[in-house]
Structures are given as structure tokens and as C-alpha cells.
Chain A
Amino acid sequence: MKAFIISLLMLGIIESASAMNHGGMLMDEKGMIMNANSDNLPRDCTKISENVDITIRAGQKHALKFTGKMFAFDQQEWNVKPCAKINITFINDDQIRHQLMIHGLPGYLYPEGMFHLELNGEGQLQASLIMPSQKKTYLVHCEVPQHMEKGMKAQIKVDGGDGDLPSIPGISQPVKADVYPVDWTRLTTAVLLLCVLAGCAIPFFFIINAQVIKSMIQKMLAKLNLLPKH
């Protein structure tokens, strides 16, 4: 891979001064890697707790196991320990561009809080990052328009995470859910009518069995010693 290292240029693009002590970007006709970090420990970590190798595949075919999606990663969640180093192999199974962005990382290590891999088409990239120690859930997504919205969304949980992000396929509900027509059959109608009939019968049941019910209640109250003594 013939890569152009243009870290000098990065200073011009990314305004935050913290970009100066780190970072860099590798880019060629195949894709790009932004803000990879295999060495610098987050401030709250004294050492790397574990090395996690994960392979993330992106593609339209991975959406087949969900309903109502079009693009997806092959997995939707990864769990790592605090201060874990994650070595990611990112594979694009499609003939189009896909990204793997991780958001919410500390800005002093990852400019704009982001780790970003991008593949212009079929192929693969490898890059590492070190997670902070905080118990937190990080967003992983492809930001090509409508890819996350149509399913290409996942999460990395450090130390169990602080909850699920919304609309992760197979894991969490959307904030704004789609609306579908109900499968209303004759059976559904029959159940509804039956329940209406039963509901009508309830008062008659009580009237007919009034004496029985009354004595039952009295017995119950007597057992509980709640009945006023005469």
C-alpha cells in the first residue's frame, strides 16, 4: 500500500492544538486511516490491560440477518476491559465506500474524539487504538449518508459500558420507530369479539353470585382479622 503520510498537513486541517502531539493520517487511492494510536496511553491508564484483536466486516450482505436494514457490520457489539488496546482489521465486502468511525474518544489523543478508517471499495485495513479506563459505550458507525440510518451501527463497551446506544440492529430500539400495519386476521377479530362478550358477562356474573362472593370476602377478611367484631 503506497501511503502518503501527511501529518504536517493535518495541522492545518484540524484546529485543535492537541493534534500536534499525535495523530496523523494515512491516505491513498484505497482508503484512509485517521488517528490510529497503538502507543500513547490515555491519561487515566498506567498500562495496556489487554490486547484485543477484532475483525469487523462491513457490507450490504451483513444486513440480511436483520429485517428492515440495508447495510450492516458483521457484529454489533464488542466488550473490552478498561485500557484495552484494540487491534482492528476492517474488511469491506462491498464494491462501494464504507467507513468505520469510533466516536467519543478523548480529544487529546484522538483529534475531534474520533478514530476513523475508510475503505474506498473492497479490501482491508488494519489499525489500533487504546481505550480509556472509563466505563463507557462508544459509537461505531459508517457515516456515508444513510448507512448508519439503514443499519451500519454498532457499539464498543469498555468495562461493561454505560448502556446501549439506540437503533443498533438486533440490540436496541430506535428513538423514532417505523410504523407498520397490524396483521389483523379473522382470528384477531374473533378474539376481540369474544373478549367484548366476556366483558359484558362480568357484571352479570357478580350479580348472580353476589351471595357467594360476599361470603367469600367475609371469610377472607375474617382470616385477616379485619372484620369488625360484633
Chain B
Amino acid sequence: MKTTDKNEIDLLLRALGRDASSRSVGEGSIQSNQQVGAHLDADELNCYAEGIVSSAERARYNKHLVDCESCRRLVAPLVPAAAGWRRSETVEQKAEWSLREKLAALLAPSVLRYALPALALTTIIAIAIVALRQQQRGEFVAQNPTQRLPVVSSGDESQKSATNISPQSLVSPEQKPPAESKERNSLTQRSDEAPPPAVASTTRASTDQAAKGFLRPGQPAGIAESQPTSAEPTETAAPPPAPRPALSDTSKTAEGRKVEAEADMQKRSREENYSSARNENQVARTSSAKGGPSRNNSQNVAGLSSVMSRSANKDDKAAGSAVETHRVSGRLFHRQGNAWVDADYASGRATVNVSRGSEQFRALVADEPALRSIAEQLGGEVIVVWKGTAYRIR
């Protein structure tokens, strides 16, 4: 059997130790006392066992302990007890630290060195997030007027919103009446449910073009440029035409308005949307309700050119977002709400109100037979400019 070096020396040392211990049994510690001189006292033994001696002291004590079996026997049981005492001391110290030292450690410069910049960074990020949210809210407010564009229909109301943005239209959603906000929400919901894609795209395109068309030469570009993008969120939420609000812009000259209105009319004639089709039906219904002569007249009157201007584009036809126009007796009228307005009429201009069937109306048509033809062809409320005077025929 091959034994290792370790085993051979280990076996020899064990045998040597057994013999030495047997020898010491007979001699007791008397021999040790004589050989090693003064033993370690209790204080030194305790300090050695507790490990609080210097390296020089430890070397000196080791030298004594090697030869002094008596002191070795004394120190051997002291070491585990000292280790237990050290552990308990450590635990007690930690327990004492738990309140005071933890606070001190929390507010220590080493901790604050990293904590303060982290706190500052967190605060800056929080402020930035709040500022961004407020900015986004502001953008929503700016979009409100353009969101209303389809609401007031595609006709002269869009012109109004583009050229003369009233303070009411700039009111934020929060400031608007709850009923109106609710209505808009419901409309948006409905449009989100199943909007026809073709209608949506056409509506957006026509709205953009309409907005561009209303840009005047001296008008700031920002207004017109912001409309195409702002019109997108409400592209499919076009409600029925709202009642026409009172127009109050009096700053334009009559000539300028005329040129502008004609240009708008030409553009709109190419951008008819789905609302025009509906308005057309309404016109037809209104005409039929007025009595038989209106239909016959529309078919038979010479020189009457009733043109329902529609875009050559079939998609635009389907969309029907352009303004409905009518030409009667060589004059062009476009639909604004329930009224037919002469293209030469400038909004805000003073009108002479005349009711059909009244004495004033009969006198007027007697002098100007063309006005009778216009009133009968169009039906409903008609604003016509005739020989420098604007008449509102009801």
C-alpha cells in the first residue's frame, strides 16, 4: 500500500503527540513551569484569547505557549468564549447604531454627495414633464378653432374661420359649454367607429384647400398653414351645417371682397363634398315645398343656367365637402346655411329686408322682374345685390 508523505508525517506526529501527552500526565505541569519560567497571567491570557494584542506581543506569547502546556490548556477554552463575546459586542454595537447611526449614515456626506444630484435631476425631469404636458394642452387649445371648421360646414363659415377667427372659436374646450363639448365628443366617437376612408381623405384634402383658398395676400401665413394639420383630427366628424352666425367683418372693401369671393367660389366648385349633395337635396325639397311653378320654372325659364358645380373627380363628388352654388339670371349664388347669398354680397353689408308677398316685394319685382325670377328659382332666404343695393328676400 502506497502512503502519501502527508500520511507518513501525520502518523509520526500523532504518535509523537501521544507519547508527549502520556509523559505530561506523569509530570503534570511542574516540568513546564521549570522550563518556561513565568506563566502568562490572567490578563495576558485574556488579551491573547480576545486577539487584542499587538503582533510583537502575540509572537512573545506564542513562544511561551509552544513550550508551556499549562498556559495552552488555559487559553484553549478562553478563545471560543472570547469569540462569542466579540460577536455579542458587535451585535450590541450594531443595535445601538440602529437608530442613531442609521440616521447619521443617511445624512453622511458620502451619501448626500450622490443623493442631492439625483434629487435635483429627478426634480428637473418632473418639471420638464409637467411643462411638456402643459405645452401639449396648449396645442389642443390652438386646434379648437380648426376643429370647428367642419362643424360650421364647408361654405362661407370656413371662410369666416379662416379670415376672421372670432374670439369664441378660440375658446378652449374647458371654457366651452358642457353640452357642446359633449356633442363634439359624441361626434368624434361616432367618426372613430366606422369612418369611410374615401370620405375621410377627401374631406381632409378639400378642407386644406379651402383653408388655403381663404388666405388673403396680407394675411399672416401661420394661420393658413396651421389649418391643414389642425383639420386632421376632425376630418371625419363633419356634422350637418350649423345655422349661419351673424357676420360682423366690416373692414374689407367691397371690391376686394368681390374678387376674393369669386376666387373662393371657383375653388370651391372644384372641391365639392358630401355636404353639398345633402344641401342639394335640401334645395330640391325646399323648391318642391314652395309650389309647382318652381319646378317648371327651373326647367323652362330661358337663360336660366342652374349649375350644380361639382368636381370632376368622382372621389370629390362622393365626399361632397364643397360649397353648393347656383347661377340664376347671370348671377352666382352660393349656399350659406339656409340662405342663398349673392357672390357679390359682402358679409356685414347692410341689406334691405323684403318679405315675399308683401307690398314692398310686389313693388320691387314690378320694377325689377329679374329679382322675381331669382326669388322664385332659389326659394327660401335670398340675399341678392341688385344695382348697388343688397336685398334680403325672405
Q: Do A and B come from one complex?
A: no
Residues of B within 8 A of A (CB): none
Residues of A within 8 A of B (CB): none
